[in-house]
Amino acid sequence: MKVLFIGMGYVGTTTGLVLAEHGHTVTGVDIDQKKIDSLNQGNVYFYEPGLQKILSSHLNKNVFFTTDLKKAVEQNDLIFITVGTPSLANGSADLSYVKDAAKMIGKYINSEKTVVLKSTVPIGTTEKVQNWIEEAAQNSSPVKTVMNPEFLREGSALEDALHPDRIVIGTHDRKAANQLRMLYQNWSCPVIETTPKAAEMIKYASNSFLAAKISFINEMAKLCDKLQVNIQDVAHGMGLDPRIGPHFLKAGLGYGGSCFPKDVKELIYTADSWESPLEILNKVDEINRNQGGYFIEKIKKKLGFLKGKKAALFGLAFKPHTDDTRESVSYLIMERLLEEHAEINVHDPVVKLSSDWTDQGVKQFKDPYKAAESADVILICTDWPEYEELDWAKICQLVGSPNIFDGRNVMNASKIKKLGFYYEGIGYF
């Protein structure tokens, strides 16, 4: 089938390429000329394992990129909207990008279209999109709308999009539902058909539930710190119960990224506006926001003060295997360290620190051993697997004081302590 994607970000690029891999012909449009130029040169402009190879094998065969939306809309009858829906100051989702995309579809519509929302949008937005398109189109051609939420994770986006747990099709239109079933016919996971509103809610409720699991285990981890109980053992023991499951029980610095924080806030906002407050999600959000501060307090308790101390911060990305730093707790930690007048050396395998930070004296090192040199404390903020594999005996010789605070509980605590380090994780020591 021929498919158009509007918005060539993480989701649009990944899902577009995965559809191409399944034999569909995909056109990707973005308003950002640089992104389109990069993709047209065969370069995925963000770091996501596996995508580069798929782009290389499909570019200009059954994958095309352009900024010419008019032509792209005219030539495609199945159109996905994959633009961003970031948080506004009041916590609600900024729908301006979705609205712009809808209006442009309406403006250029030349035949019957099916418009599929893959962006995460508040409950009721799919209906609004239908109206925005129809208003702009002045009823020149019929349009059908579908909500088809995306569940991929950054860092494993390709695998997730190739092998999703479920496909949710939210529409009132039989023909549109069948079109999507055809599109996804090679996928073997369950397909759920429901209303657009339920599909929208499935996405927010899923992300909120996962965020709640993380905040729950982080609360337990803080209690474990006091009780001297290993949270890893607790999570393992809990996770063996299939009603609980082992996933998303990793205690640490909490959730970051472009989705959990914003989606939790949006659902809280929607619930408040319906006068049906979600007390539990308010707490989930609050616990998460406090996790970085809790980590800093732990370090201060051990070191006494941070002024003039050298901190080696390992990991800037909000999670491993991505270069995405949106809502990454590492930045909040850097801010706190700067407020305390600590010196900061950072390392990340893929993220490059912006001049906003280097201008404030933060130094970035390509070599983690160099970053650790003469440090008073090492802070592990992202669970990149390579950190576990470093030569920690060597690092122990390089540092000024052998202190490790592991915000992701990635190290083997007993091994690292045997090397001579003072070690603290979160609910893990």
Ligand X SMILES: O=C(O)[C@H]1O[C@H](OP(=O)(O)OP(=O)(O)OC[C@H]2O[C@@H](n3ccc(=O)[nH]c3=O)[C@H](O)[C@@H]2O)[C@H](O)[C@@H](O)[C@@H]1O
Ligand Y SMILES: NC(=O)C1=CN([C@@H]2O[C@H](COP(=O)(O)OP(=O)(O)OC[C@H]3O[C@@H](n4cnc5c(N)ncnc54)[C@H](O)[C@@H]3O)[C@@H](O)[C@H]2O)C=CC1
> Which residues are the active-site residues?
259
Site membership for ligand X, residue 47 (CB under 6 A): no
Residue nearest to ligand X (CB): 259
- Distances in Å between the Cα of 153 and the Cα atoms of 117, 207, 260, 281 are 18, 11, 11, 21
- 30 assigned binding-site residue: yes
Tokens of 91: 């916590």
Q: Does 384 bind ligand X (CB under 6 A)?
A: no
Whether the CB-CB separation of 84 and 49 falls below 8 Å is answered with no
Q: Of 36, 95, 152, 202, which one interacts with ligand X (CB under 6 A)?
A: 152
Residue 59 carries which DSSP code? B
- Contact flag: residue 29 with ligand Y (CB under 6 A): yes
- Does 9 sit near ligand X (CB under 6 A)? no
- 225 contacts which partner out of ligand X, ligand Y, none, CB within 5 to 8 A by kind? none
9 binds ligand Y (CB under 6 A): yes
Question: Which residue, 14 or 364, is less far from ligand Y as judged by CB?
Answer: 14
What would the two tokens of residue 369 be? 């051993």
Confirm if 343 and 308 have CB atoms less than 8 A apart.
yes
400 labeled binding residue: no
Give which of ligand X, ligand Y, none residue 427 binds (C-beta under 5 to 8 Å, depending on kind): none
Q: Is 107 annotated as a binding residue?
A: no
| Of the candidate residues 76, 87, 120, 126, the single one contacting ligand X (CB under 6 A) | 120
Cα angle 47-20-190, degrees, rounded to a multiple of 5? 95
> CA angle at residue 205 from 200 to 210, to 5 degrees?
135
CA 344 to CA 337: how far, in whole Å?
8
Among 69, 137, 221, 259, binds ligand X (CB under 6 A): 259
Q: Are 28 and 171 in contact (CB under 8 A)?
A: no
Q: How far is the CB of 76 from ligand Y (least distance, A)?
A: 14
Q: Note whether 383 and 252 are within 8 A (CB).
A: yes
- 257 interacts with ligand X by CB under 6 A: yes
Instruction: Walk across the sheet containing 377-380 and list its strands.
Output: 363-364, 343-347, 310-314, 377-380, 403-406, 422-424
Element (H, E) at 134: helix 125-137
Give yes or no for residue 4 binding ligand Y (CB under 6 A).
no
The secondary structure of 170-206, three-state, reads: ECCCHHHHHHHHHHCCCCCCCEEEECHHHHHHHHHHH
Give residue for tokens 């008073």. 376
Q: Which residue sits closest to ligand Y, CB atoms considered?
A: 9
Residue 248 binding result from ligand Y, ligand X, none, given CB thresholds of 5 to 8 Å by partner type:
ligand X
- Distance (Å, rounded) from C-alpha 161 to C-alpha 73? 24
d(CA 84, CA 89): 15
| Least distance CB 149 / ligand Y (angstroms) | 7
Q: Which does 7 bind (CB under 5 to 8 A by kind): ligand Y, ligand X, none?
A: ligand Y
Report the distance separating Cα 106 and Cα 93, nearest Å: 22
The pattern of x and - marking residues 118 through 147 that bind ligand Y according to CB under 6 A reads: -xx---------------------------
- Binding residue for ligand Y, selected from 3, 35, 58, 235, defined by CB under 6 A: 35
Q: Alpha carbon of 402 to those of 294, 297, 373: distances in Å? A: 21, 18, 11
Stretch that binds ligand X, among 42-50, 250-258, 271-279, 362-370 (CB under 6 A): 250-258
Partner interacting with residue 9 (select from ligand X, ligand Y, none; CB below 5-8 Å by kind): ligand Y
Q: Which residue of 3, 6, 133, 211 would you call a contact of ligand Y, by CB under 6 A?
A: 6
Which residue type, as a one-letter code, is found at position 379? L
Q: Which of 256, 315, 368, 425 binds ligand X (CB under 6 A)?
A: 256
Residues at the interface with ligand Y (CB under 6 A): 6-12, 29-32, 35, 82-85, 97, 100-101, 119-120, 150, 152, 154, 258-259
Residues at the interface with ligand X (CB under 6 A): 120, 150-154, 207, 210, 214, 248-250, 252, 254-257, 259-260, 318-319
Q: Annotated binding residues for NAD(+), as ranges?
A: 30, 35, 85, 120, 154, 262, 326
